Structure 1
């Protein structure tokens, strides 16, 4: 959860900090874009799916403007049934939940077991040492939560504990065995949990293979393979300044490792810290993380964001595209807004004889990127950069596009990159302020830019080496 700068409030301020902390309140609808909530600042998100609902548990950042310190006293809960529209349920736990706590409601995660919900937290104890891991428990995802143990689960006195006991992640395997991972200051640690979920079951071990681990582990399993994601701050393909962090990940065939480092799945975000969680919800995978992108945000005033996560056929993770619009509608469903594409005439640098340029704006609903149930545009065997273009009889104002890429797993693949251009009246120019042009499969990729008034909009698409590119739909929206 933490990065280069560390500040420890003086012992004794906790009583003053607890004044006015409420643990209940009315549920409030939150934003349907990133960040998903802007009424308060939220950080260190941990997603959990229960039935048809995704919950996100997050700490609250309360630092004042210009304050260079993590001021965190409570944990909040958000929920969604579509991963787009969120309800804020308020604070459901705080440092007051733990009678032995001093201050600092840092990163946490909730794990269900036997009909109960165990909330593992990073909290500053009143005794010797600094950060401890506590456990609260409740009978529903929204609590109420109470201290499950009466003291720390992990502290500095735990044999082989981390240099900083923070950022707990708990994973329960198919056989019912639960595992706890945690740690900061490069000190990743792991241990089994007893069935009661509040005691360690055996020694604390130091996992091997987690290259450049800094903090914020997150554990999950997919198709029999174990994944451990974590914050790293190395400058070897992760970040250019070690004051920031990326999210690396490793895989293993056993939950205790050994681990094989696979690469970066989330680049640096706008805050110095980078803390994320992964969850599968309604058939899709999502990454939940935090940024400094909310109005007035900063390194100590962070906000939770959600975007889609995709996997390659070999099980490796594709790098997440950070968006301002959030994950958007379900697969094949276009983003909301007025789509100008149906009123345009399409043209291209090249279309395969057996494909159709009409696919771009015929209103098809793709099932996935390999879907041939609708018309398909492709430019095989051309490589390098090709273009598609919309022309309107008079100028239109456009400020975003959405692309649903075609990938036939043969000669046409997802592109390497793309660039939106507009006709200025005398030539083509790149649209101003373009966001990252997403190249993920099986979903609409939304690209935003500053509004332009033009009669022609062009999309330059650069192929991966040895491949051509294709599209199932290309949408263009007015503000």
Structure 2
């Protein structure tokens, strides 16, 4: 779990937690965040049969809270990675008689027909955090304390400066490994077959450049991958108060590791915690943001997005998607480079293709594109490095009642390779408020598409999102 020391070392918040309660056990349709009935964080993913499970912490901080309030863990499940069910709290601080507080980031690992849930908690003895382990007979439990005390604590030789965020991995030969750590202190060890004892010395893995916390380990095509949170400003974040997700690779489970790059940019919460899993032939990254209604740094929510590998085994950067129901077709805008004739210095061109679904045309909860004080015809454009097939463009107009209004008209053009041309057989370009306006047309193959926007007299125009969809 991402924890910044200047926050963690604050006194525990003395407050009544205000819980967002829509339902304690319910389903959510395809969208990010995947569950909004409660706030969920620090996800770990597990696939069993035809079901993907997410084991997540439960944020219960009050609105405006300045510390983490976490007392139990929930299990989310899906059979399609789109529709998610919250199965309720399946483990809590109360399951560990020796634990005092702080249900932080855990992970479940199957072994010998049982499921072992490794979790960091604030023990009653000296030290910051301990790692305990619970066990259950099914992915949904019930789970009970498997050891009766910490597996890892400050008294463990060579333990991390902060013993949090365990990731547990079983290699092809059956050997189980555990990685954990925070405050730039990654640690690793083997586990005995009973899953509740370390097997040998704790080691400090090398090569996890800029490691901050939240390791996640997996294997693909004989290569070991380690995903972890970093907060450096060397291509990761602009402020070390936030974090990104870097990854490293190795040829053996204990390293040495080679850092490969950033695969998840800074999210909307200061903390970042990710898991990676393959499900139904597709790889996914599971992470958390502050994007749910009422969300924040201590009221986070789980998101799920697809992840792709290059032919050489390197990982493409994950594109974060947000908001309501996934639109029909394949939104190629998410992989495009945007440009424009003009954007106001205080607005954001990047807002138009970040996957956000607005709540209405006056939605200022997110970044927006606007071209005040320009009038007449302006444009926004998407470019791709290679040709894509498109047959629909969807625009969500921004209207602030302060000089930016709905346009008088609009049109869509594509690049033929030598000139701009109107898309063939286009439907009318709509200018309705509070909805996506779709322009459909005969499929074109192009590297560029442009939305031309003509303003009403005396007004400028704006956009909240523009989607470019393939057949």
Taking the TM superposition and a 5 Å limit, the aligned residue runs for 1:378-457 are: 389=423, 392=426, 394-396=428-430, 399=436, 421-424=451-454, 432-434=463-465, 448=467
SS at match of 2:302: strand
Q: Give the Cα–Cα distance (whole angstroms) in 2 for the partners of residues 112 and 189 of structure 1.
A: 21
Q: Is 1:161 equivalent to 2:192 in the alignment?
A: no
Q: Secondary structure at the match of 1:96?
A: helix
Kindly indicate whether the alpha-carbon contact (under 8 Å) linking 1:194 and 1:200 is maintained by their aligned counterparts in 2: yes
Q: C-alpha deviations, 1:227-256, integer Å up to 9, x for none?
A: 000000000000010000000000000000
Residue 392 to residue 230, structure 1, CA distance change in 2 (3 Å): same
Q: Aligned to 2:115, which of 97, 114, 117?
A: 117
Q: Secondary structure at the match of 1:82?
A: coil
Matched residues in 1 for 2:125 and 2:438: separation? 55
CA spacing shift, 1:420–1:163, aligned 2, 3 Å = farther
1:85-143 Cα deviation digits (max 9, x unpaired) = 00000100000010000000000000000110000001010011120000000000000
Structure-2 separation of matches of 1:388 and 1:280:
41
Change (3 A) 1:139 1:103: same
Q: Determine the structure 2 residue equivalent to 1:266.
A: 264
Contact 1:169 1:218 in 2 (8 A): yes
What is the DSSP-based 3-state SS (H/G/I as helix, E as strand, rest coil) of the residue aligned with 1:6?
A: helix
Query: 8 Å contact 2:30–2:325 — kept in the other structure?
Result: no
Partner in structure 2 of residue 474 of structure 1: 470
Count of paired positions: 387
Shift of 1:66: 1.2
The 1-side partners of 2:278 and 2:152 are apart by: 29
Tell me the residue number matched to 2:48.
50
**Conserved 8 A contact 1:31-1:38:** no
**Are residues 1:195 and 2:175 paired?**
no
Q: Give the 3-state SS of the residue equivalent to 2:309 in structure 1.
A: coil
TM-score with structure 2 length normalisation?
0.74
- 1:289 alignment counterpart: 287
Gaps of 5+ in 2: 333-354, 356-380, 393-413
Report the equivalent of 1:177: 175
> Are 1:48 and 1:279, in contact at CA under 8 Å, matched by a contact in 2?
yes
Equivalence for 2:351: none
Q: Which residue of 2 aligns with 1:85?
A: 83
Question: What is the TM-score of this pair, normalised by structure 1?
Answer: 0.72
Q: For the Cα contact (< 8 Å) 2:98–2:123, is it kept in 1?
A: yes
Instruction: State the alpha-carbon separation in 2 of the partners of residues 331 and 286 from structure 1.
Output: 19
- The worse-fitting range, judged by mean Cα deviation, of 28-37 and 190-199 is 28-37
Matches within 5 A, 1:216-231: 216-231=214-229
State whether structure 2 residue 277 is matched by structure 1 residue 276.
no
Mapped to 1, the partners of 2:41 and 2:310 lie a distance apart of: 29
1:247–1:274 CA contact under 8 A, matched in 2: yes
Post-superposition offset of 1:298: 0.4
Distance in 2 of aligned mates of 1:162 and 1:148: 22
CA RMSD of aligned residues (A): 3.8
Q: Distance in 1 between matches of 2:122 and 2:264?
A: 29
For 2:420 and 2:247, how far apart are their aligned partners in 1?
A: 34
Distance 2:121 2:127 in 1: 11
1:74 corresponding residue in structure 2: 72
CA shift, 1:286, in A, is 0.2
